[in-house]
Amino acid sequence: MDVVISALASELVCRLISFVSKKYSSQTHLKENLEKLQHLLLRAHSIVEEAEGRHILKPSMLQQLKTLTEAMFRGYDVLDTYMPLEKIGEIEEVSGWPLPITRRPNMMELTRACSQVESTLENLETTVTNMTEFVVLLTGCKRMFRSPYSGYLYIDNYMFGRQVEKQQVINILLHHSPFRAPTVLPIIGGCRVGKKTLVGNICAHDRIRSYYSSILHFSGDDIQKINYENFKRVRTLVTIEFVSDVSDKEWLKFYRLVALAGKGSKVIIISRLKKLIRFGTVNPIQINSLSQEEYSYLFKVLALGSANPMEHPRLALVGKELATVFQGSLIMLNVYASVLRNNLNISFWTRVLQLFRVMMHKNLTIFGEHPKTLLEKDGSAVDITGFSLSSLSNTSFRLMLLTAQKDASGGGLPQMSFGDIIAGSKILPAKFQLVWESRLPPHTVICANCTAEMPSKLPPSPMKKRLKLCTSSSL
């Protein structure tokens, strides 16, 4: 019996030693690969930044740039997922105290992390290696501008990403057409994905401003009011935004007016409606939402500002979670980032995350949809009651979003910034207006009218609607 117990004890000790050894080896391997990934990302980012300052004409080079950019942001996403945990582990080892909001990964999670990091590293290594010819050809492309040294300053004041789409649009606008008829380029994309920001950035480009003697901006709602007096007989770039469809007759009248301008004039159509592609004379440019990897990277850079994420690993983890629950909303990204950047405190960031989760779940319960989806619908309201420091239990706050002009009036309502409420540190008045202005051209002003409503005025939740229907059908 003693021999059996001794053998079992010996086996257990051997397995324990093997487990600890394997876990330590996995942790060491993970740390080494994360460091390799970090260094490789610096190489990839330097290539992308250099490409942003060059005028690339070849479609094949633009496709290569797109491939590298996608691989780079996937790399950043993996690095931002696991590197903060490594840094937090190092802090715990030095201090001897575990940090809140984190826990040690188990063996299965550690194995999964090692596999994901290794796979991402191999993919990025292959992509960067395949860019050798691209880098050589890039030196032959004309230089456009030099990016500022600070990535935070660059991204905070200029358009982020969209480099391939931007180059495609610029190439079309600078292309010399032998025909008198104006070129029409449709730029189509979803709600608030950055279509006007892209066009505004391009119209402010030095080469575009020097190429066109006149740049005009119109709204599709005013298409019937446009006449020949709006156009000079010079090369003109016209941008027109449509929120609804336009008849072929109205479009033809407008197109003939543009044709009165100088030879080489062009038109950019901006819209969510794919049916307007029919007016294009060249292939449309499709603007999609940022990928989750791009979105997370942008939020990290804007929220942390000039601070090093590796010096604030807990903030980096909370920021990544915020970027996930925002579900790609650029409005939420910009509003929250500007507030968080001014308070790099883990308690503050955690509270902001908790309040957003409460608000998100309440809207899912009441309306059956995420706040991002509600904000994108005309006439939809969003419940923000949870943001009020102290509100009556029988009162709910409803927010109605609208896009306004810069001089939009709030109708005498008191104005608050989005930053005033998202931390839940203020008592909300019965009626007020939220105002936020985009930092990028065309500096769109986002306004939201907020009103406290009694329960009798509030719409029943989808759950209650379904329950009522089921009860009625059973009678």
Position 131 scores a pLDDT of 94
351 has pLDDT over 80: yes
| Percent over 90 (pLDDT), the chain | 41
> Where do the DSSP E strands lie in 153-249?
183-189, 214-219, 236-242
* Domain 19-147 shares a fold with domain 163-287: no
| Percent over 70 (pLDDT), the chain | 74
Cβ neighbors of 179 (< 8 A, separation 6 or more) are: none
Domain positions in the chain are: 19-147, 163-287, 292-462
Return the higher-pLDDT residue of 408 and 325: 325
11 has pLDDT over 70: no
- The mean pLDDT of 323-336, rounded to a whole number, is 90
Q: Distance between CA 187 and CA 165 in Å, rounded?
A: 10
Q: Give the model's confidence band at 470: pLDDT under 50 very low, under 70 low, under 90 confident, else very high.
A: very low
Residue 251 token pair: 């479009």
Please write the tens of the pLDDT for every residue from 274-284.
999 999 999 99
Mean residue pLDDT of the chain comes to 80
Which residues share a beta bridge with 416?
A: 434
The three-class DSSP label of residue 456 is helix
Position 197 scores a pLDDT of 86
CATH architecture of the domain formed by 163-287 = 3-Layer(aba) Sandwich (3.40)
333 has pLDDT over 80: yes
pTM for the model: 0.79
Distance, C-alpha 314 to centroid of its chain = 21
Position 230 scores a pLDDT of 79
Q: Distance between CA 418 and CA 415 in Å, rounded?
A: 10
Least confidently predicted of 115-119, 126-130, 161-165: 161-165
307 has pLDDT over 50: yes
- The mean pLDDT of 159-184, rounded to a whole number, is 86
Position 9 scores a pLDDT of 61
Residue 257 token pair: 């007016």
How many other C-beta atoms are found inside a 10 Å radius of the C-beta of residue 201?
19
Position 442 scores a pLDDT of 60
| CATH, range 19-147 | 1.20.140
Distances (CA, A) of 166 to 52, 184, 197, 369: 10, 16, 11, 33
- The mean pLDDT of 447-468, rounded to a whole number, is 56
- The mean pLDDT of 95-99, rounded to a whole number, is 41
How, if at all, do strands 54-55 and 142-143 pair?
antiparallel
Position 149 scores a pLDDT of 40
DSSP track, 275-297: GGGGG-SSPPEEEPPPPHHHHHH
97 has pLDDT over 50: no
421 has pLDDT over 90: no
